[in-house]
């Protein structure tokens, strides 16, 4: 699932919830303000269903596993979270993130970052998703070409979230990190003053 993540002190977030819930709520609000413009812009980059190649649009008679393109569902799937994430495979967590929850949206966002998949044809055995089983060997390359170029950002390459993140030019990340820093300073200020109380 493509995502742009804001990392910071996740232990702080737990302490805020426990001892300074007002600061926790204020931080979540400021993170929303920082990230929402990027979400809105990314949603605006989603092409209308009619603009995408005919073979990728929903068909009621199809039971194919490949997710079909539906612009409304993709737009709905681009969202953000200000809660602390679970650790990833490398043990990292994020304080906030912009994510694309829709499978077709994730494909549109990132397809082609490592080039077309190796073609094995429809009759090849196995269940790997890292190969193309299309009838035509050039289908993958044409599919990627039809999607248009990828935009590079400091967080990765893509056509929706990463494109909007690149356009933000660090403003969203700067605002998010400033909000985390502000909450951190206020938390330690209260701690040193002995005014923290465990939330009920």
Asked if residue 160 has pLDDT above 90, the reply is: yes
The 8-class DSSP code of residue 95 comes to S
More confident position, 154 or 36: 36
Task: Quote the pLDDT of residue 64.
Answer: 57
Question: Taking the domains of the chain in order of start, what are their residue ranges?
Answer: 3-113+150-193, 114-149
Residue range 122-148, pLDDT digits in tens = 777 777 778 877 788 887 888 888 899
Q: What is the DSSP string of 100-146?
A: E--HHHHHHHHTTTT-SPPB--TT--S--SSSB--SSTTHHHHHHHH
Residue range 28-79, pLDDT digits in tens = 999 999 999 999 999 999 999 888 887 787 666 555 567 889 999 999 999 9
């Amino acid at each position: 699932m493509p995502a742009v993540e804001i990392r910071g002190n996740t232990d702080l977030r737990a302490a805020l919830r426990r001892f300074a819930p007002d600061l926790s709520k204020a931080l979540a609000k400021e993170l929303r303000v920082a990230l929402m413009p990027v979400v809105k812009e990314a949603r605006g980059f989603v092409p209308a269903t009619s603009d995408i190649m005919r073979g990728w649009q929903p068909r009621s008679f199809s039971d194919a596993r490949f997710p079909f393109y539906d612009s409304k569902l993709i737009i709905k799937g681009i969202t953000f979270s200000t809660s602390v994430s679970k650790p990833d495979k490398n043990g990292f967590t994020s304080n906030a993130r912009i994510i694309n929850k829709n499978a077709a949206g994730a494909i549109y966002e990132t397809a082609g970052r490592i080039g077309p998949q190796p073609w094995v044809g429809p009759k090849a055995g196995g269940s790997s998703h890292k190969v193309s089983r299309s009838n035509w060997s050039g289908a993958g390359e044409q599919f990627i070409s039809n999607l248009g170029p990828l935009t590079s950002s400091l967080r990765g390459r893509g056509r929706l979230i990463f494109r909007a993140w690149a356009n933000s030019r660090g403003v969203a990340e700067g605002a998010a990190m400033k909000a985390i820093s502000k909450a951190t300073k206020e938390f330690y200020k209260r701690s040193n003053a002995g005014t923290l109380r465990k939330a009920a």
